[in-house]
């Protein structure tokens, strides 16, 4: 992210100063980042505005997804608000059985499961998921596949066994990127 220093610029309709509020502590790789909860900008026009102007800028949602994103503008002592709602904000994990006999299971059936992780498109750090099978189900090792779209990304995750006496698997990843979500397919059979 590029840092913008306060500037004095010549704009149509007169000169103005632009100040960007930012965090001074370094983010990843030492770059400076805008504070997602307390950032903003201030534009002060040093000359009278004699013509209409258009101000355009972009924002980016960061961190854990939120239900509502708000933007407030203050002009001549009056606040103006706009917001947008993100309906998928709390969809972190869903789990679905892809096959069954109308909701029944018979001994020896191979069950196909699918988990969708991070449909909220959040940035999740130190992600860990444990899938523990109930008694009567056995996790079929080698059946676990993690996909992004049609691309197999299983090798991007650390896959391990559960504690002694637990049946299932666990997966870890340092960062689930907000721009993708993953489908995990695995199989178990009933004994």
Q: Could you tell me the residue range of the domain that residue 174 belongs to? A: 93-190
Q: What are residue 17's phi and psi, to 5 degrees?
A: -110, 145
Q: Are residues 185 and 135 in the same domain?
A: yes
pLDDT at 2: 39
Q: Are residues 110 and 185 in the same domain?
A: yes
DSSP assignment of 79-134 equals: EEEEEEE-TTTT--EEEEE---BTTB--TTPEEEEEEEE-TT---EEEEEEEEEPP
Q: Is residue 105 part of a domain?
A: yes
Q: Are residues 48 and 21 in the same domain?
A: yes
pLDDT in tens, 19-35: 666 544 444 555 555 55
pLDDT at 20: 65
pTM: 0.64
Q: Are residues 172 and 97 in the same domain?
A: yes
Q: Are residues 68 and 47 in the same domain?
A: yes
Q: Are residues 99 and 31 in the same domain?
A: no
Q: Is residue 26 part of a domain?
A: yes
Q: Are residues 65 and 133 in the same domain?
A: no
Q: Are residues 80 and 99 in the same domain?
A: no
Q: What sign does the CA torsion over 96, 98, 100, 103 have?
A: positive
Q: Are residues 98 and 186 in the same domain?
A: yes
Count of domains observed in the chain: 2
Residue 48 Cα to chain centre, angstroms: 43
Q: Are residues 125 and 46 in the same domain?
A: no
Query: For each of the chain's 191 residues, which pLDDT tens digit applies?
Result: 334 444 444 444 446 676 666 544 444 555 555 555 566 777 777 777 788 878 887 777 777 888 898 888 888 889 999 999 988 888 888 888 888 788 788 888 888 988 888 888 888 889 999 998 888 888 888 888 998 878 888 899 998 888 888 888 899 999 888 667 778 887 776 66
Q: Is residue 57 part of a domain?
A: yes
> Which residue, among 57, 118, 64, 62, has the nearest Cα to 82 in the 3D structure?
57
Q: Are residues 171 and 97 in the same domain?
A: yes
CATH number of the domain at 114, please: 2.60.40.740
Taking the alpha carbons at both ends of the chain, their separation in whole angstroms is 54
Q: Is residue 131 part of a domain?
A: yes
Last residue of a domain, one of 85, 103, 129: 85
Q: Is residue 2 part of a domain?
A: no
Q: Are residues 106 and 58 in the same domain?
A: no
Q: Is residue 56 part of a domain?
A: yes
Q: Is residue 20 part of a domain?
A: yes
pLDDT at 148: 86
């Amino acid at each position: 992210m590029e840092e913008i220093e306060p500037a004095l610029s010549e704009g149509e309709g007169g000169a103005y100063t632009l100040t960007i509020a930012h965090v001074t502590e370094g983010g990843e790789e030492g770059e400076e980042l805008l504070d997602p909860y307390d950032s903003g900008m201030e534009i002060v026009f040093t000359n009278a505005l004699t013509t209409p102007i258009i101000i355009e800028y972009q924002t980016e949602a960061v961190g854990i997804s939120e239900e509502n994103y708000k933007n407030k503008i203050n002009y001549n002592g009056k606040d103006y608000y706009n917001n947008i709602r993100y309906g998928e904000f709390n969809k972190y994990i869903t789990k679905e059985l892809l096959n069954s006999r109308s909701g029944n299971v018979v001994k020896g059936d191979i069950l196909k499961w699918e988990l969708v992780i991070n449909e909220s498109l959040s940035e999740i750090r130190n992600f860990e998921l444990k899938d523990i099978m109930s008694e009567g189900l056995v996790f079929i090792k080698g059946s676990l596949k993690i996909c992004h779209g049609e691309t197999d990304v299983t090798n991007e995750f650390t896959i391990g066994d559960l504690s002694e006496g637990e049946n299932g698997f666990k997966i870890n990843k340092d960062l689930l990127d907000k721009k993708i979500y993953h489908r995990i397919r695995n199989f178990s059979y009933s004994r």
